[in-house]
Every structure is written in C-alpha cells, then in structure tokens.
Amino acid sequence: MSQTDVVLVLVLLSSFLQLISGSRTILREINNDNKVEVDYAVELNATSFDAVLGDTPATYAVVEFFANWCPACRNYKPHYEKVARLFNGPHAVHPGILLMTRVDCASKINNKLCDKFSVGHYPMLFWGPPSKFVAASLEPKQEKSDITLIDDCRTAEHLLNWINKKLGSSYGLDDEKFENEQLTSNLSDAGQIAQAVYDVEEATTTAFDIILEHKMIKSGTRASLIKFLQLLVVHHPSRRCRKGSAEVLVNFDGFYPSTMQSISKLDVVMGNDEGALRNLQICGKEVPRGYWMFCRGSKNDTRGFSCGLWVLLHSLSVRIDDGESQFAFEAIRDFIHNFFICEECRQHFYEMCSSVTSPFKKSRDFALWLWRAHNKVNERLMKDEASLGTGDPKFPKIIWPSKQLCSSCSLSHGQKDNGSGLVDWDENEVLKFLTKYYGETLVSLHKEKGSRLGNDVTDGAVEELVASTNAIVVPMGAALAIAFASCAFGALACYWRSQQKSRKPRRS
C-alpha cells in the first residue's frame, strides 16, 4: 500500500470516527438494523417555547424538563416516547388532545426558562392547558396554579395512568389509530367548524407536499398553480397560510421560470437544502400535523385530507368578491384537475366544472355552485360506500346542510328511490349559512387567540413581502382579480399587473 493510500485510509477513518461520535442518529441506525428511532415528543427551547405552546390545537400539554447528561433522563426517554407516540405526530393514535414536549435544561439558552418553572430535579414533568405555559412561571411551593406537577411518571404505564385519570379516559399503550376512539359526530353543532382552521392549514400543507413529492409542477401545470397561489394569498382563512403562500409565489419564478421547458432545474433546486421550494413552508413551520380536529374520522383512512380540502374550497368561495368569481372558479378547477392525486375524483370534479356553460359574475353563484357540486359528490359516494362498506360509520355521507345544522335552509324534504334526500332548498338561506359557517365561524378561533396563530405577522407585512420581491409574470385577468380582492394586497396586484418580468422590485 502506497503512502498516499495510507494517508487516505487514515483520513477516512478519522472522519468516520468523528461522525459516529457526534451523531446519535447513525449509532441508532447501526444498533437497530438501519431503523431510525423517531422522537414523537416535541423538543422546545426558550425561543420556540411560547410560540409552539401558544399555537397548538391540543387541549392539554405535558412539558418534560430534563438534562442531556442525566442518565436517569436518558433511561426515562423511551418511556416518555411510548406515551408521546399516542398523541403527537402525523400518525398520532389520539390526535388533538395532548401535546407532549421536552426542554433540555443543560442547554444554556434554556437556563432562564428552567428557572422560571423552578426545576429542581430531572426529569420533571408538568401538566396544564398549553396557553397557561405561555409567559408563565411557577414558584416551588405555589399551591394554586393551572400548571400541575406530574408526581407519578416513573414508567410509561404510570404516566399514561396519570393522564387517564386527568382526562377521564382509558387510553392504552397498545392503542391503534382511531379504532378505540369514541368519537361523536355532533353534526348539529355549527360551532365545531371553528376547529377546522387547523384542518385547512394541514390540508394546504399536505396538498403542496404531494405536489412536490410527485414532481407535479411541469410546464403545462405551472400557470394553474400560480393562479391557485394567488387565490390563497388573498383569501386563505389562515393568516400564516396567506403569508406562506405569498413567499412561495414570489419565489416561484426563481425555482421554475416560465421559459424552462423541463423540470431538470427544478429537481436540482429542490435538492438544495437552502432555499428549496419545499423549505418555504406554505403555512409556516409550526403547522400542527396529524390532528384533524373537525375532519377527524372514527377509523383509519376516512375523512382527513379530503375533508380538509373541501373546507378550504368552501372557505375560499365565501371570501371572494363578485369580480373574482370566475377567476376563483378557474383557479380551483385547474388546481384539482392538475394536482389532486385521486384520478377518479379529479375526473368527476372536472366533468362537473365542464358542465358550467357561462362565466360566473357573482360570488353568490359560485359559492352555491360549489355547494351543489359537493352534494353531488356526496350523493355519488353514498352509493359506493353503502355497497362496499368503506364509509365512516360515525360520519356517513349526507346531503347537507342537515335540518339540524340549518333549519331554515330547506323548505321541504322528500325521498328519492335510492334513499338520498330530495330537498327543496331556500338558496338565500343556504348562502347565509355558507357565509357564516365557512366565513365568520371558521376563523372565530383565530380571532379569540389573537395574533399568536398568525406568528405576529400582519397582512400588511405580506404586502411588503410581495411588493419587495421580483414579480411573477401572470395573466392580466388574474392580476385584476387579485386587485379586486383586498386593498391590503393592492401593491401586489399592481406589481403583477405590469407583467414586466425585468422590472426592478418596488420599494415602499
């Protein structure tokens, strides 16, 4: 072996030793037959603590304070993770109930945070409503507090038993997703839709994850995605999704120029960890995943994403102005046709869209058309699910809104031969219901929580973000539609309307 070969071997060996000494992931992969252990508990620090706990849809939170050098903490982690996997993550067994987090007190950034909660030993676990942890402190002998010390958490079994006593539940460590849930549909409770703002955020994020994962952005689909992004920038019910959509939109031309004839450059860009399109996070970095608050099914593979997407489309339909109705129709039609991954579903939807013979001139007409289209879909799926047994028994497809949900929406009810409802609708009342249900009520939870859910970003900040970035070249009609939408985005609309790709960004 030559001297050069010896040097090369020593360098490689040194690099490998450094890598494994500083990477727990690699050690886990070696020791577990290449299976990477997943941490379900969310690790927080002083910077993210208030933001994450103030923004979770979970009803309760558990915060574990630990130190990374503590042997007892390392031994306790598998127990904590067994419980956390039930409540956290995209595959949570009981989502939306409990957020389980941890804070490393051995990290200097967390010193003051651990002091605020009077952490005196490791591990130390606290329980309470997530909002009560925000900007909170806890004295050692404080008796009355919404935050409670968990005094029996030695094993996963002990911790889960403690949680079950608090919740009045009977969760088990071997629970499988949804199968043991005692969900009630409460279809007559109109206030439930307020929780769907989280589902709309997750559906938006999931849709764009699918687009990127399946490399669906091509020369023929590029324009339709831009139009849909324009619609989201102005009318998405979530402020952080409006901001994220604007970031994606103004950077889109850099990732996928209109002159590009292939997706080769896009593949290169998406492979770059810094500035990649997928890393822009269309609804922000802290969007809850796997919860499905309003759209949660009672068993595996029901509701979820498809329900969240329908809620998004209805919420868009009641937020547009008259001048945008045709633009919104085309944007939604083309988005579903090009990017919804269920082939049969998108074909059916496109056929319904193709039956529209004249442009929409009123937002009222489009909102009602989408409502009728949704009922047609439900009516078709009723038959399929009844014959195949694939429906959700707790949430069967119905012709909606039901009499319980909107007593004034229907004048009379009849029956078709197939058993589905034949309803004489009062469409003026239906429109009032849609506007309140998908408009006012849907965002009421955000209004109650204030700016925390928007990450303290105003719509004006989105305007500045877009106005200070290179323009995306779009059709004149699309720009005008956005211009009619909101004064808050006037700068964006004027910038797009110019259609001058080489024009320098306007500074406010």
Count of CA atoms in the C-beta half-sphere (13 A) of 35: 4
Phi-psi region of 360 (alpha: psi -120 to 50; beta: other; left: phi over 0): beta
Active site residue 487: no
Residue with tokens 């909660």: 117
Burial class (CB in 10 A: 0-12, 13-18, 19+), 197: buried
Candidates 70, 345, 353, 494; catalytic one: 70
Cβ–Cβ under 8 Å, residues 236 and 242: yes
Strand extents, DSSP E, 275-417:
410-415
Residue 132's identity, in one-letter code, is K
267-285 b/e (C-beta count within 10 Å ≥ 16 → b): eeebeeeeeebbebbbbbe
The whole-angstrom separation of Cα 313 and Cα 49 is 33
The whole-angstrom separation of Cα 254 and Cα 250 is 8
Structure tokens at 499: 């259609």
Residue 325's identity, in one-letter code, is S
How many residues are listed for the chain in this entry? 508
Cβ–Cβ under 8 Å, residues 65 and 123: yes
Structure tokens at 168: 């009045």
Active site residue 73: yes
The whole-angstrom separation of Cα 453 and Cα 130 is 13
Active site residues: 70, 73
